[in-house]
Amino acid sequence: MTAQTESASPAGVAGPAPADRPRRASARDGFWPWLFLAPLLIGMGAFYLWPVVQTFINTFMSIGPFGGGEFAGLANYRKLLSEPEFLRSVLNTIIYTAIVLLGVPIAIVISSLLNRPGLRFATLYRMLFFMPYVAMPTAIALVWRTIYNGDFGILNTFLAVFGLDGPHWISSPGYSLAALGAMGLWSALGFSLIILTAGLQNIPADLYEAAQLDGAGPWKQFISVTVPMLTPSIFLVVVVTSINAFQLFDLLFALMGTSNPAMKETQSMVFMFYEQGFIINDKGYASVIAIAIMVIVALFTLIQFRVQNKWVNYV
């Protein structure tokens, strides 16, 4: 029987027995995966995809404060491109993002110091650095409002020791954006530190031993081994931090307030969307701003992914 089966096979090669052949998927097999995925797909469609589609439709509408609307064509888009306030909000957001990204090299240095062998209470230090990231933005802003207070703030009190008269940091147009960026840098430092620490712990110790045998000191090892091997983690931190910074709203709203004279100097794109959509009640123009924010963030992230091959080392 075995000989007949082998002779019937092409080129004299024995084929698998019928019991060993994979069973073809039937139509009923294809139904069950979609059934289990249905709750997730329905939720994504209802709460993620449809709002984007509805927002895009609203960009062509003139919607009043009580609902309803009329077709406005490209009027909202023309208003956006000719509005100096929107261009200012884009610039403010980019400057804020750049300031927050300055925390990435700071986090690299701190995480490297905390990753030294034999360091006592390293876990406690990491927890203390991470706590601001999980704190409520309103609580963070209230603490920093006390620090930045021009009359009795901790920062101006410290400067007065050296005979310096500090300004009203959050109400002076020349200082408010820098003060906001410093607060954002501090609050985002914990996330960068945790991700980079995980990346440091995955670097093989053999690389440091080989570099030490070649005569490399601590600084040379940091430049030649730590930073190149840490670039995948650095890339992740830069992308996530940039996206979060472009969505600046809660820290800005809680720190500055709507009646602050320096608000226009620090207004972000998301705050302008909130102002147009929920204070002025121009829903059509607010929808255009929302689409613009989505496009800007997508383009910025796409550029980061396109240039990563030039500096990220995947081993």
pLDDT confidence band for 145 (50 / 70 / 90): very high
- State the Rg of the chain over Cα: 28
| Percentage of the chain modeled with pLDDT above 70 | 90
Q: For residue 298, give both structure tokens.
A: 């997508």
Task: Tell me the residue ranges of DSSP E strands in the chain.
Answer: 61-64, 67-71
SS3 category, 67: strand
Q: What spatial distance separates the first Cα and last Cα of the chain, rounded to whole Å?
A: 53
- pLDDT, one tens digit per residue, over 164-201 is 888 999 998 889 999 999 999 999 999 999 999 999 98
| Percentage of the chain modeled with pLDDT above 90 | 58
Q: Model-level pTM?
A: 0.85
Q: Mark residue 186 as left, alpha or beta (left: phi above 0; alpha: psi -120 to 50; beta: remaining).
A: alpha
SS3 percent helix, strand, coil of the chain, rounded to 5, is 75, 5, 25
Q: Which long-range contacts (CB under 8 A, 24 or more apart) does 133-136 make?
A: 133/187, 133/188, 133/189, 133/190, 133/191, 134/190, 135/187
Does residue 6 sit within a domain?
Answer: no
Which of 66-70, 94-98, 106-110, 128-132 shows the lowest mean pLDDT across its residues?
Answer: 66-70
Residue 26 pLDDT: 54
Find all residues with CB under 8 Å of 208, minimum gap 6, and list them: 221, 225
Does residue 144 sit within a domain?
Answer: yes
Does residue 10 sit within a domain?
Answer: no
Is the per-residue pLDDT at 58 higher than 70?
yes
- pLDDT, one tens digit per residue, over 258-291 is 888 888 889 999 999 999 999 988 999 999 999 9
- pLDDT, one tens digit per residue, over 65-75 is 777 778 888 99
Is the per-residue pLDDT at 24 higher than 80?
no
SS3 category, 180: helix
Question: Where in the sequence is the domain holding 214, given as residue range(s)?
Answer: 75-310
Find all residues with CB under 8 Å of 242, minimum gap 6, and list them: 97, 101, 300, 301, 304
Bridge partners, 67 (sequence order):
64
Does residue 214 sit within a domain?
Answer: yes
Counting the structural domains of the chain, the total is 1
Does residue 201 sit within a domain?
Answer: yes
Does residue 68 sit within a domain?
Answer: no
CB 241 within 8 A of CB 96: no
SS3 category, 63: strand
CB 170 within 8 A of CB 176: yes
Does residue 22 sit within a domain?
Answer: no
Write the CATH number for 210. 1.10.3720.10
Indicate the residue type of 130.
F
Q: Tell me how many helices (H) and strands (E) the chain has.
A: 17, 2
CA 139 to CA 268: how far, in whole Å? Answer: 20
Is the per-residue pLDDT at 7 higher than 50?
no
Does residue 206 sit within a domain?
Answer: yes
